[in-house]
Amino acid sequence: MSGASSAPLALRLSVFGLLVVFFQIGVVAEVPVFGVNPELCALLVAFVGLLCGSTVGAACGFAVGLFIDLALLQTLGLTSLIFTLIGYWCGRLRELRDPQAPLTPLIVGVGASALALIGYSLMEFMLGVDAPVSFELLRQLVLGVLVDTIVALPMWAITRRVLEGALPEDPRRRRRRRAYTTGGLSPLSKA
C-alpha cells in the first residue's frame, strides 16, 4: 500500500475508531444486555484486520486498545496487547485463506470476542487482581460471547461501509478479475 492510498484509510480508521471507543465507553457500557456489555471495540479491530490485513489490523488494535486503557485509567497496555493480537490474527486469516463465506464475519466475531474476554480475564488474573473465580465468571464469558455474536453482523456491515472507499486492493482479486474478463484462456491455447 503506497503512502497516497494509505492516508484516506488512516484518516477513516482514526475517526471511526475514536467514535466506536467513545460509543463503547459512553453508551454501551451503561446499558448491559443480559448482565454483560457488548465488546464493540474488539469486533472493530477484528473486522479491520479482516478487511485490511494483518499490519493495519495490528496497528488499529494497538491504537484502539491504548486509547481504551488511557480513557478508563486501567492497566496500561493490557487491552492494546489483546487487541493487537486480535487484529493481527484476523488480518492473517484474510491474507492466508481469503475467506469469502457469508458467515465469516460471524465466526470471526465469535473468535474475537472470546479471545478478548478470555484474554483480558486471564491477564488480569495473572497480574494479581483480586477477583473471585467462580461460575459467575464463566457465565459472564459465555453471555458476553453470545451478545457479541448478535452484534457481530451489524458491526461488520457498519465497518465495511465506513471503510469501503479506502480499502486496499488485494492483488489476488485483481488477477482473478482480469482472468475472468479475458475468459481465462490464453491466446496461445486457441490454436
Tell the residue number behind the cell numbers 487484529, with chain if given: 87
pLDDT digit string (tens) for 89-130? 999 998 888 778 888 999 999 999 999 999 998 888 888 777
Average pLDDT over the chain reads: 85
Report if residue 1 sits inside a domain: no
Query: What kind and span of H or E run contains 175?
Result: helix 171-181
**Assigned domain for 107 exists:** yes
CATH number of residue 121's parent domain: 1.10.1760
User: What is the reported pLDDT for 180?
Assistant: 46
189 assigned to some structural domain? no
Does 172 map to a domain?
A: no
**What is the extent of the structural domain holding 127?**
9-167
- Is residue 180 in a domain? no
Give the pLDDT of residue 178: 47
Q: Across residues 51-68, what is the average pLDDT?
A: 94
Q: With respect to residue 179, please indicate whether it lies within any of the assigned structural domains.
A: no
**Which residue, 146, 144, 155, is CA-closest to 118?**
144
What total number of domains does the chain contain? 1
Look at the pTM and tell me if it is higher than 0.75.
yes
Q: Give the Å distances, CA to CA, from 102 to 11, 110, 157.
A: 28, 14, 12
